[in-house]
Amino acid sequence: MQEESSSAELNKWQYRFFTIWGGQAFSVLGSHLVGFAVVWHLTETTGSATVLAIGSLMNVIPGILIAPIAGALVDRWNRKLVMIVFDWITAMFTLLVAILFVYDAAQIWHIFLIMFVRSSCGCFQWAAMTASTTLMVPKKQLSRIAGANQSLQGIMGIIGPALGALLIALLPMQSVLFIDVSTALFAVIPLLFFSIPQPVRNGTKVKSKSDSKTSVWQDLAEGWKYVLGWPSLLAIIILAMLINFLINPAFALLPLVVTEHFGLGAYELGFINSAFGVGVILGGLTLSAWGGFKNRIMTSLVALTISGGAVLAVGLAPSNMYLLALAGMALFGFLNPMVNGPLFAVMQAKVEPEIQGRVFSLLTAGAGLASPLGLAIAGPVADATNNQLWFVAGGILTIIAGCVAFLIPDIRKIGLGMDEDQADKTVEKTPQKPILESALPETTQAQLE
């Protein structure tokens, strides 16, 4: 009887979670398609590094300004409503821009607007789904769900760009946007039929803002105080800021490198983004089998240093060696899970659960703080010089930063003192929202946790 009860309970959570998860997966696919389509549209119609840099800014700024607030609000609001409302806001804005394309009235600023709105809504959706997963899934099953999420992201990273390149060649822009609107339905419909658990704060289930004893700003202040009081965390944020200053602008210019330097088109841009996705899958599988060094941060730093070489390869590839750039992107993707996975595992093991949402949001926001400045500089400089310059500079800086980090005690010691069993369990359930993250189109940035 006990076995039958356990089986029924298992089936119950699986049915609810995977129905919701499957719907969100369709939404992620739509985001990949739109992300590729809008970036290619900007590349094809303007050929301007400045325009691409501004477009990337529209994706980056919400992660810095809105993500910390979104994390605090999601802890207080009804998470089911958050996912439904922000899915629909995203769909409605996408539909509006699609209609503008139908009447040939779409302007560049409309593209910027939809990129900003989608990125902003994504901050709320990611926070709500990530936090809800922990409450919907039994703890002993979290590792399997984490594996499913990693596999999904890798698969989307492979098929998303390739399918996007195919669709943009066969269909007008508005048709690709309409496809994304339809995928939003798959994300919303399951949410209408299932409940989403709410978090517990101070022993009381949070139902609305009025139920909370502190304000959003007090919650954010508490998170900032926690971060500022941890030298190791501050050192990592500063390191990430330095790297993202050049890495994000470099990958924002990738479409122009493919079209102008290599003289190729949408298919080749799709393939190079897909190579990143293949790398992510292989890197995640390798990390799962290997487990990394005993000091988990050493795994991240070694992978970070080598990834600088991968970026440098893309920047130094001659115009007749597209395959070298392809290999560089695949290697960069392979190392990405090894940089972010162990780092987040250590963080989640050491940060108290009730403050993790705020701390992780502040961590990713702080890490991306330098990206807008880099993007603002990169566009005009690349237009006046060479689009590959930023890959070369970013690769060299990443190598230097990785080597210097080995010499900083505050960074090295953050990976010490973890119980191995705790570390293994934590790395499997950690939401992989990258700190050190390239500003590729949404084909590599959409996260489903």
Give me the mean pLDDT over the 39-66 stretch.
Answer: 82
User: Quick check: 444 and 56 in contact, CB under 8 A?
Assistant: no
pLDDT of residue 201: 56
Q: Write the CATH number for 291.
A: 1.20.1250.20
Q: Is the pLDDT of residue 427 over 50?
A: no
Give 60-92 pLDDT, tens digit per residue. 788 778 877 777 777 778 888 888 888 888 888
pLDDT of residue 148: 66
| Half-sphere exposure in the Cβ direction for 196 (13 Å, CA) | 28
d(CA 31, CA 37): 10
- Sequence-distant (6+) residues with CB within 8 A of 375 are 53, 54, 56, 57, 60, 248, 249, 252, 439
Give 322-348 pLDDT, tens digit per residue. 999 999 999 998 998 888 777 766 765
Where residue 269 falls among pLDDT bands split at 50, 70, 90? Answer: confident
Q: Is the pLDDT of residue 362 over 80?
A: no
Percent with pLDDT over 90 in the chain: 9
Give me the mean pLDDT over the 44-66 stretch.
Answer: 81
User: Quick check: 442 and 32 in contact, CB under 8 A?
Assistant: yes
Domain annotation covers residue 95: yes
Q: Is the pLDDT of residue 419 over 50?
A: no
Q: Is the pLDDT of residue 305 over 90?
A: yes
d(CA 177, CA 97): 8
Give me the mean pLDDT over the 21-27 stretch.
Answer: 80
Q: Is the pLDDT of residue 167 over 70?
A: yes
Domain annotation covers residue 404: yes
Domain annotation covers residue 13: yes
Domain annotation covers residue 52: yes
* Full domain range(s) for residue 71: 2-195+209-429
Query: Could you tell me which residues are beta bridge partners of residue 417?
Result: none
Domain annotation covers residue 443: no
Domain annotation covers residue 400: yes
- For 381, the token pair is 């400089």
pLDDT of residue 415: 64
d(CA 140, CA 226): 29
Query: Three-state SS for 234?
Result: helix
The three-state (H, E, C) secondary structure of 383-398, written as one string: HHCCCCHHHHHHHHHH
Give me the mean pLDDT over the 432-442 stretch.
Answer: 45
Give me the mean pLDDT over the 388-406 stretch.
Answer: 88
pLDDT of residue 15: 77
d(CA 96, CA 109): 13
Q: Is the pLDDT of residue 165 over 50?
A: yes
The dihedral through the CA atoms of 232, 234, 237, 242 has a sign that is negative
pLDDT of residue 193: 82
Give me the mean pLDDT over the 225-238 stretch.
Answer: 75
pLDDT of residue 208: 45
Nearest to 298, CA basis, from 338, 238, 356: 338
Q: Which of 99-103, 293-297, 358-362, 437-441 has the lowest mean pLDDT?
A: 437-441
Phi and psi of 192, rounded to 5°? -75, -15
- For 228, the token pair is 């500022």
Domain annotation covers residue 65: yes
The helix (run of H) or strand (run of E) holding residue 27 is helix 2-46
The three-state (H, E, C) secondary structure of 254-277, written as one string: HHHHHHHHCCCCHHHHHHHHHHHH
Where residue 214 falls among pLDDT bands split at 50, 70, 90? Answer: low
pLDDT of residue 444: 35
Mean pLDDT of the chain: 76
Q: Is the pTM of this model over 0.95?
A: no
Q: Is the pLDDT of residue 428 over 50?
A: no
Give 106-157 pLDDT, tens digit per residue. 888 988 998 898 888 888 877 777 777 767 777 666 656 665 666 677 777 7
Query: Three-state SS for 137?
Result: coil
Total number of domains in the chain: 1
Domain annotation covers residue 265: yes
